[in-house]
Structure 1
Amino acid sequence: MPGPAVLHPYDPAWPGRAAELLAAVRRALEPLGVAESHDHIGSTSVPGLRAKAYVDLQVRVRELPRPEVLDRALAPAGFVPTTGSRPDSPGVHRDIPRGSEVVPEEVWRKRLFVHDLDGPGASILHVRLSASPWGRYTVWFRDWLRAHPEARDRYAAFKTATAAAHAGDADYDGYTLAKTAFFDEVQEEFEAWGRRA
């Protein structure tokens, strides 16, 4: 992943770009018959929220296809697997366990893909197991921020301060890990809201 985190004002074009990319991913994965949901997640999915200019996408699958099968399926849509910028980059091969659900360790496994990182279609695609709590948390957190402007603004301020603190980093792994503090603070609240909603 290139450079430190650089946040941009919300771009109303992000949802349309996400919809186009998700349609391409849906077509690419259809022959495998494993995808159960396709989501626009992350800060680009929350109107009014500053974000890195990479549209975050998620596909939840019943089972993770073998790497070579998944890579070959997504290649025509322009998505290529990434290893992250460091050997220990967070969220590349597995999500960091969090939340109230107790699940087997293998449920946190995932694959991470990138698309056109230097161009107008810049995107990151998370392929997660449907059983993974992270898959639900990303959607609940998005919807909770959309429904609670004061929480969105609090998150925006936190992100801005965190990006400034990590502006000299070689990549945005430190920024990503530092955001855990905000999720720790609000996890119980948005998780309870998501279960009710």
Structure 2
Amino acid sequence: MSGKRILMIVGDFGEDYEIMVPFQALQAVGHTVHAVCPDRHAGEGVRTAIHDFEGDQTYTEKPGHNFQLNASFATVEASQYDALVLPGGRAPEYLRLDERVLDLVRQFDSAGKPMAVICHGAQILAAAQTIKGRRVSAYPACAPEVRLAGGEYAEIEVNDAVTDGHLVTAPAWPAHPAWLAQFLAVLGTRISHD
């Protein structure tokens, strides 16, 4: 099996684990992942944030890593890729204001290409108007946006994920095992344990 070409759209203060883990894990099983950020080029970086659940009313935020982009946003076209990944964190709140990002999301969706979206990434889906009638998970604070965009908010455990057609969503990084497994299934990736 030849690997798929996957586009990941990231931005400053995206959630560190939700960028790093899928970026590395998808490559580890043979896929090509291009991480891009609007108005940035390959070799430049974005700053990430680590969000943790420590008993407060919301998550806490700590400095993450400097994540290096390996492709340039200006040159990507949805037709060049088989799938899309949208990490969470704070980046989606401003990435959803960029019509170029929303247009890419709509192109992946209308083509029925696999999309893996986690945490606050649902804010981008809502802004792109691609979740009407779909069952979608997200960080619980994004539930109103999912519902206002016409989606059914999936109230699942923080370590679970949900697949609705070609869309795989999860509430936050504790769901990585379930989220990535479901995304790999939608991609058609087979992993054997001989």
| TM-score of the aligned structures, taking structure 1 as reference length | 0.25
Answer with 1 or 2: which has the greater Rg: 1
Using CA pairs under 8 Å that are at least 6 residues apart, name the structure with larger relative contact order, 1 or 2: 1
Whose strand fraction is larger, Structure 1's or Structure 2's?
A: 2
| TM-score of the aligned structures, taking structure 2 as reference length | 0.25
